[in-house]
Structure 1
Amino acid sequence: MLPVYFISHGGPTFADRGHAGSEAGAWDTVRQLGPQIVSSKPDYVICVSAHWETANDVLVSSIEGENPLVYDFYNFPRKYYETKFHTLGSPAFAKEIVQTLRDKGIPAAVDSRGLDHGVWTPLRVAFGNPDVQDTKRLDLETPLIQVSLPPSPKIIDSYRLGEALSDLRAKNVAIVCSGMSVHNLQDMRRAMSSTDEPLPYVKPFNSWLTNTLTQDNSLSGLQKLETDPQLNRLYRAAHPTPEHFLPLAVALGAARAGKCEVLHTAATYSLGWNIYKFI
């Protein structure tokens, strides 16, 4: 089966290598992932992003033709709202994903929503040409379908979503989950104005996460963030809201707690940029 990836995607400025809102090592790592995934010749790519949360069912993007883009960010330079990433959807496969989830007891439905920046910003680096705002051609020939996070902040529910999606890996499907290993925008201004060092919780959380995934890569390992008081304080500092962490739980579930390989780790300001591969 194909590997499962978790990538830290930053914001729309991630595509600009060297920008303060990007991270060069993460950019380089994501750039290398595209050819690796393409060379494995998947029939479909599924992406789960931090930026699609739902109130009830898990939703699956069902687009006939080209996937539209959602510019779900504010007060950025105009060029980021004019950037394009050309991919195709697949209504037939979207329905198959929905049925797979329902068969596992997860309420799911199709939706016409486009791809948010948690998908198209990093995947444009991976598969497209980030130096060109619009290539005017398909940037990825493999159909791309986005799946929302479940309507729950609990780690176990995102893990179970991943478990359900894991059945599709046997059908030659690549799964990419997009979030951040640390994501605290509330602290960003303080972090940028204080020192050049990341805030004190960023590196410890990155290290704990890597140690857990490489030594105890189980659901119970991740759930210690919810049950252990000291770890929970660290978790809440690193992720005041959980949406950028939960795609990692999806990835772990989709890999059935398979072996984790660390592809990149970095810390800037109040952000963590870890990237993992699960096999």
Structure 2
Amino acid sequence: MQEPGPTHVPAPAHEDADPAVDDESTATRRDAGTTESARANRGWWDRNADEYQVEHGTFLGDDRFVWGPEGLDEVEAELLGPAEELVGKDVLEIGAGAAQCSRWLAGQGARPVALDLSHRQLQHSLRIDEGRVPLVQADAGALPFLDGSFDLACSAYGALPFVADPARVLREVRRVLRPGGRFVFSVTHPVRWAFPDEPGPEGLTVTASYFDRTPYVEQDDEGRAVYVEHHRTLGDRVRDVVTSGLRLVDVVEPEWPAWNTQEWGGWSPLRGNLIPGTAIFVCERD
């Protein structure tokens, strides 16, 4: 899972930026297109994959399917369907990171393929399971699969927060899904973009416009982007799903569970008990 990281849950940089990773980078809000975003994020995840897996690997596990920093587990959520119905299903994981979710799916009898933009993230999957899960390095906006190749697709904080054209990704997912197929993806809850990325009380006061879609960009001293994340409002996400030809079945906003006492970037028990941190979209292809 590549989410905050939560990835792929990896920590988006606007939620969990690590100044030690790109010492010369500065954060700003400016336009960033498809090519610039892809180039910057591929490099960022290749540079940060090792640190990310060390920091979050225990929470993510080697073969656990978590949808976000709250810790909502597919074992209980069954957003892709009951475990017994996963047997024999062809599943595509997009923005897979080290393919923890794919490994869990394989354990349920599914046939997963883990796709990620970052070569280094996928190398961590090889480290964990020595290549038992098929891996593909590719851009989510140009999936290298035939039409109707998969029964299911999933993405836990992977790809969608980092691309300039999420509708293009959704159209690609629809194309590779078989009729009746389901796609479930999680992203930072859009409302979080109005708040500072702080886990404490200072992260509970609105300081920016929720409606400002200007991308978050970290750039070097020559103005080249080294990390990009894109904001979409809740309505934007819904429209992206609908215009791609998918049908929106549900939107899940996980509550922060009492057992989870850890902080993950801007995610924390304090904030999680008051405002949503993750939005999960359940979609189907008719």
- Which gives a bigger RCO, structure 1 or 2 (Cα 8 Å, sep 6+)? 1
TM-score by length of 1: 0.38
Q: When you count strand as a share of all residues, which structure comes out higher?
A: 2
Q: When you count helix as a share of all residues, which structure comes out higher?
A: 1
